[in-house]
């Protein structure tokens, strides 16, 4: 199973942080193209596009990393989007240990709410 932590940019330019086992499904849920499981916040700030994602080794790692990112100010989230390798600096500051299996900028948002490879 894959475990992802992601940053999504909402229609009002805010940044949403989440964790999932399926990026494609989750983005569809956020955009309302999959039934009723999108976050309440993103439902009122459409469209939602994937800005950055990190694959980690376990669900508990994903939840710890998600929480750490949620504690960051917006400027730091923007830095993580533009420089995804900075995640290791965040982990060091927060005394987190986790294994980044993949840093993904390979996905783009298509008009129907799905993710497509570039």
Calculate the dihedral angle through the C-alpha atoms of 103, 42, 35, 114, rounding to the nearest 10 degrees: -40
Tell me what pLDDT residue 114 has.
Answer: 47
Q: What is the DSSP string of 24-42?
A: HHHHHHHTTSSTT-S-HHH
74-104 residue pLDDT tens = 999 999 999 999 999 999 999 888 788 778 7
The pTM score is 0.85
pLDDT of 108: 45
Structural domain containing residue 8:
3-117
25-77 per-position pLDDT tens digit = 999 999 987 666 777 888 889 999 999 999 999 999 999 999 999 999 999 99
Count structural domains, the chain: 1
* CATH number of the domain where residue 45 is located: 3.40.1440
């Amino acid at each position: 199973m894959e475990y992802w932590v992601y940053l999504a940019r909402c229609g009002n330019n805010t940044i949403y942080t989440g964790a999932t086992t399926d990026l494609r499904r989750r983005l569809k849920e956020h955009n309302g193209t999959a039934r009723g499981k999108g976050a309440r916040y993103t439902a009122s700030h459409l469209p939602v596009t994937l800005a950055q994602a990190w694959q980690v080794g376990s669900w508990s790692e994903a939840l710890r990393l998600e929480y750490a990112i949620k504690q960051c100010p917006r400027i730091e989230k923007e830095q993580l989007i533009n420089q995804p390798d900075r995640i290791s600096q965040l982990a060091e500051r927060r005394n987190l240990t986790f294994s980044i299996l993949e840093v993904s900028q390979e996905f783009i948002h298509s008009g129907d709410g799905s993710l497509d490879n570039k």
